[in-house]
Structure 1
Amino acid sequence: MRRKNEFLYTKLYNTLKEQIYTGFIKPGEYLLPENDLCTYYGLSRNSVRKALDQLHKEGLVIKRVGLGTMIPEDLVVDGPEQNTLRILAPSPAFFIDRGLPLFIEAFNRKFPNVSVKMLELPIEKFWESFRSSSEMGLTADLVLVPDMQFTSMDNSNDFIDLAPYLSDLTDQVYPKVIRHFKQGSEMKAAPFTFSPVFVVCNPQLFAERGVPLPEGQWTFDDFMDSAKRMTVVQDGMTTQFGFSMHRIFNRWPVFALMNGFRRSDIKTQKQILTQSLSVIQDLCFHQRIATTFPEWSWPQTPFIYGKSAMALTTTFEMANWQNESMNFTPQEIHLPFSNEHSTLLIANAFMIPASSDKARLASEFIRIALEDETQRTMAANTPFLSVKEPINRSQRSEAYLERLNISEKNMDNNFFKFELFDENVVRGLEEKMSLFWLGLEPASSIVKLYEQLVLQHAGKAAGHEAGESAK
């Protein structure tokens, strides 16, 4: 645990130091308050204070009582080096620690005199921070974006079309994945890894309880039975759950997908959502064989501590588990599909800002990241998947790809979140589901809110189209 805490404190220290040296935070400006740093970077107050203390020792910050932590007004910061490629990324981003170093190493073999620097910004205000950094003259050469941030982007004209630079490297990329990052004929972002949402189990716990591991396809009734048998209650308190998941929009809609949820008529959607959300509440609050937990608890989850026998996860989250002291090896298993073999997808991609004066060099970085050798090295040495189907088939067994529902026959049945839900609908539901996750609000209330949000969004979209037609 001590090594982990030191790692987290050092990471924040390096992030803030880079923000100071790049001029993102200028002399005379204040850092975020400690509470905000804790929230944005998912750290304890102790880790935040250790990072600030180290910056203070180096003379990069001063502490002003009652005001906060400030960059000294007389601090002289050298300008950025000419041979530096700067990557802007959201924090937290699990790929940065486990996958990106492989890309940088491959890039430096071809461009040994170019230094690659990372600047991490809070994911909750990522595009706002991106605009602020640009206004202050800090130009990123590459931007690493998750698919959610790509969809919520304000102005795609701020980024160049990557198709002319990469057309010869993308023919083997999963069409389902690359289509998500295209706008018409333009490729505004180049995906380099992706993940479905899938189920893992703790084989040791199954063995201890004498419960056989699920092999091949299994039904939801089989899943329920295993979750019941893997739940442990002692003195009226549940000490081990059969199943757990994050209560976020990149997890729970999988239950709806397995019940056939698609972009369809609102009546059908309401029926499926009511059924799916009711099942989740039944698992958590009636049968008490499952638990959910908020996003800020990453990476401290019941599953990695042996308090949950199964979990809904992704390859990104599994890569982050490697920072933890786990005493077992998670095993991927099939989702308990009903009639629909569908799950959610997430992905990471690179974009090149139009303001960068190193677009050619940045495109070389992306090309190297997408080369077969680099993608193969990533797939062979990390939990991350390649965006190229042939490489995944060479590095993973067909059974593994089936368990993750990304075999050739199933890949197009999967969906990115915003293929199913409009951004405003997602945001509205996320703001109002806290009582549902506590078992204090029924599924019907959430579905009613969903209908209101969908109709509200449809009305705004219709008004926008009418306005465009009148021009």
Structure 2
Amino acid sequence: MLSRKNEFLIRYQTLRDDLRGEILSGKIKPNEYILPENTLSQKYNISRVSVRKVLAELVEEGLIEKITGKGNRVTIPKDGLPVKEKIRLAWFSTSYELEIVKEIIGKYNASQPFAEAELSIIPESSYMESITQLIEGEDGPDVFMISDSHFRQLLDMGKAHLLHPYLSDKMDPQTDSYPKLYELFEYDGQPIITPFLFSPVVVCYNKRLFEQAGISGQDPIHNWTALVDTAKSCTKDTDGDGRIDHYGFCFSSSPHRWPVFMLQNEGTLISDNNECNIDNRNTIEALQFCLDLMYKEQVSPIYSHGSEYMAEALFVKERVAMILSTYYFMNEFRGSTMQWNVCPVPEQKSEGTLLLGGGLGINKNSQRLKLTESFVDFMVGTEAQTLIKKLGCTIPALKHVAEDDSLLDWAIHPKNYNVFQEIMPYTRTLLELKMNTSEFDLLRNEMQLMWMNIEGPGEACGRIVQLINERRAQVMDSVSSKELQ
């Protein structure tokens, strides 16, 4: 339990930091008056004497001036602040958006008289571990990019409490964005992070290889049968040496790819009673279809890999006609001479695909929370989101920018860029699949023999069900034991 002294200090510092943040961010503009002393006293539950001490600090700093009979007015220091208030932003090293983010930071810094953002790049291999260690060591960034995969990792680490929940009021989920994006970052049933960008999983196809195979029509891969037929038409041994030179499709065993087929077949990984049920008929059918693409139909390279980069690399080399990919990875295709486009994933028993995305997490221990919140507001504002759209393929979270066709550049974007709009209603997040990151890691490892066609889906899934349910039972026993202590 906090002592009264500590509680007072927290309220005192909160008042000071809130006022400074609102002034430095421009929320309260020069020549505007801050709230009266008695209002601040009631709002922050501290005495008027303490309020006056906070105001005196701001006067000393040159941020406000006391106007007799009127109150306290925001002012601009004649010589500016000795040092601009720094907002520390962290980003992971492999992000395609790094150069765009640097440009956004430049725009932000140019617009702020009192604040500036500073970018730190952290290796992807240890990104969340580094972020959490820095925050717990009280040297963390004020705000950091966090993908939905990073967020699930943070939940598994039991570190969600390190986040300061913040949803920017500059972007309403219902009217200004897409409600589904907020489900990517839910904790205890509530979203706690402002989305920044996103992408559903779609099919990328090579237009030249399609034309050479005589593939035409609006939707040549509308279901699994059509996908196989189209892939067969594009799979060719062009020089007659017995080797396939162009495959029709490239399957990826990445957990960000293969579950798309499971969703289309109404399969599941975890049942409603929270037990692993990957051995259900619909999921096994979907896994068998994935295997058939490689081993029976022979329209995909027989090479088991979990890397999302491999399929994209083969696609850029024009060795495969179709891949499952995201708008994020479409940035790989920039500068390529190939002609390509996108279309929705095929449906089977139902429509279904995965939704991936990234948001802006705020460090709960930041000493400048209000200022950091205003920076997040800027990042999801029109200017910053427009740069995301104009300079890359990843879709910005701000709806009117995401759907603004005047920002499309055919040297960057696919002709069917807007297909995401028809896909969004049936997207699913990985959180909805109800497996944590360690369980997905187990899944990846235990499926390797199956992807090599050494064992069948039924055998692999039966073993996985036992392993995961045993692990979940152990966790429940451990929790119960702690509660009894």
State the TM bucket, normalised to the shorter chain.
0.7 to 0.9
Residues of 2 paired with 1:182 and 1:109: CA distance?
A: 34
What is aligned with 2:181? Answer: 177
**What SS is found at the alignment partner of 2:171?**
coil
Q: Aligned-pair distance for 1:343?
A: 0.4
Contact 1:372–1:391, Cα closer than 8 Å, also in 2? yes
Contact 2:251–2:290, Cα closer than 8 Å, also in 1? no
Residues of 2 paired with 1:299 and 1:273: CA distance?
A: 23
Higher deviation after alignment, 334-343 or 306-315: 334-343
Q: Tell whether 2:313 aligns with 1:301.
A: yes
Is the alpha carbon distance of 1:245 and 1:256 closer, same or farther for their aligned partners in structure 2, counting shifts above 3 Å? same
What is aligned with 1:93? Answer: 95
Residues of 2 paired with 1:136 and 1:161: CA distance?
A: 20
Post-superposition CA distance 1:3-52 (Å, at most 9, x none): xxxxxxxxxxxxxxxxxxxxxxxxxxxxxxxxxxxxxxxxxxxxxxxxxx
What is aligned with 1:9? Answer: none
Residues of 2 paired with 1:378 and 1:452: CA distance?
A: 44
Contact 1:87–1:140, Cα closer than 8 Å, also in 2? yes
**What SS is found at the alignment partner of 1:235?**
coil
What is aligned with 2:127? Answer: 126
What is aligned with 1:195? Answer: 199
Residues of 2 paired with 1:238 and 1:185: CA distance?
A: 49
Residues of 1 paired with 2:247 and 2:277: CA distance?
A: 34
Higher deviation after alignment, 332-341 or 205-214: 205-214
Post-superposition CA distance 1:230-289 (Å, at most 9, x none): 011241211111011432100010010110124536668521221111111111122221
Counterpart code for 2:178: Y
Is the alpha carbon distance of 1:209 and 1:182 closer, same or farther for their aligned partners in structure 2, counting shifts above 3 Å? closer
What is aligned with 1:372? Answer: 382
What is aligned with 1:252? Answer: 258
Residues of 2 paired with 1:430 and 1:224: CA distance?
A: 25
**What SS is found at the alignment partner of 1:100?**
helix
Q: Aligned-pair distance for 1:191?
A: 0.9
Superposed, which structure 2 residues align to 1:323-334 within 5 Å?
A: 325-334=335-344
Q: Aligned-pair distance for 1:168?
A: 4.3
Q: 2:247 aligns with which of 235, 241, 246?
A: 241
Post-superposition CA distance 1:203-250 (Å, at most 9, x none): 011122322255377222111111001011241211111011432100
What is aligned with 1:417? Answer: 430
What is aligned with 1:428? Answer: 442
**What SS is found at the alignment partner of 1:261?**
coil
Post-superposition CA distance 1:276-329 (Å, at most 9, x none): 11111111122221135442855861101100001100011002332xx41123
Q: Aligned-pair distance for 1:412?
A: 4.3
What is aligned with 2:222? Answer: 218
What is aligned with 2:232? Answer: 228
The two structures, once aligned, show a CA RMSD in angstroms of 3.0
Q: 1:384 aligns with which of 369, 390, 394?
A: 394
What is aligned with 1:28? Answer: none
Is the alpha carbon distance of 1:467 and 1:412 closer, same or farther for their aligned partners in structure 2, counting shifts above 3 Å? farther
Q: List, as ranges, runs of 4+ consecutive aligned residues in structure 1 with deviation greater than 6 Å.
A: none
What is aligned with 1:160? Answer: 164
Post-superposition CA distance 1:430-454 (Å, at most 9, x none): 2233333333332223312331244
Counterpart code for 1:251: R
Q: Aligned-pair distance for 1:367?
A: 0.3
What is aligned with 2:36? Answer: none
Residues of 1 paired with 2:235 and 2:359: CA distance?
A: 39
Larger Rg: 2
What is aligned with 1:111? Answer: 112
Post-superposition CA distance 1:367-402 (Å, at most 9, x none): 0111234324433442121224444344399x9577
Contact 1:90–1:126, Cα closer than 8 Å, also in 2? yes
Q: Tell whether 2:292 aligns with 1:282.
A: yes
Gaps of 5+ in 2: 1-82, 409-414
What is aligned with 1:20? Answer: none
Gaps of 5+ in 1: 1-80
Residues of 1 paired with 2:289 and 2:187: CA distance?
A: 37
Contact 1:231–1:241, Cα closer than 8 Å, also in 2? yes
Residues of 2 paired with 1:297 and 1:217: CA distance?
A: 23
Q: Aligned-pair distance for 1:113?
A: 6.8
Q: Tell whether 2:325 aligns with 1:313.
A: yes
Residues of 2 paired with 1:299 and 1:287: CA distance?
A: 18
**What SS is found at the alignment partner of 2:454?**
coil
What is aligned with 1:150? Answer: 151
**What SS is found at the alignment partner of 1:368?**
helix
What is aligned with 1:14? Answer: none
Is the alpha carbon distance of 1:181 and 1:283 closer, same or farther for their aligned partners in structure 2, counting shifts above 3 Å? same
Residues of 1 paired with 2:133 and 2:277: CA distance?
A: 43
Is the alpha carbon distance of 1:217 and 1:402 closer, same or farther for their aligned partners in structure 2, counting shifts above 3 Å? farther
Contact 2:164–2:362, Cα closer than 8 Å, also in 1? yes
Residues of 1 paired with 2:442 and 2:380: CA distance?
A: 36
Residues of 2 paired with 1:426 and 1:377: CA distance?
A: 34
Q: Tell whether 2:373 aligns with 1:363.
A: yes
Instruction: State how many pairs are aligned.
Output: 382
**What SS is found at the alignment partner of 2:355?**
strand
Is the alpha carbon distance of 1:465 and 1:412 closer, same or farther for their aligned partners in structure 2, counting shifts above 3 Å? farther
Contact 1:203–1:213, Cα closer than 8 Å, also in 2? no
Q: Aligned-pair distance for 1:127?
A: 2.5
Higher deviation after alignment, 388-397 or 281-290: 388-397
- TM-score, with structure 1 as normaliser: 0.72
Q: Percent identity?
A: 19
Residues of 1 paired with 2:460 and 2:405: CA distance?
A: 42
Q: Aligned-pair distance for 1:149?
A: 1.0
- TM-score, with structure 2 as normaliser: 0.70
Is the alpha carbon distance of 1:121 and 1:452 closer, same or farther for their aligned partners in structure 2, counting shifts above 3 Å? farther
Contact 2:221–2:230, Cα closer than 8 Å, also in 1? no
Contact 2:388–2:394, Cα closer than 8 Å, also in 1? yes
Residues of 2 paired with 1:445 and 1:124: CA distance?
A: 32
Contact 1:335–1:403, Cα closer than 8 Å, also in 2? no
Superposed, which structure 2 residues align to 1:435-454 within 5 Å?
A: 435-454=449-468
What is aligned with 1:4? Answer: none
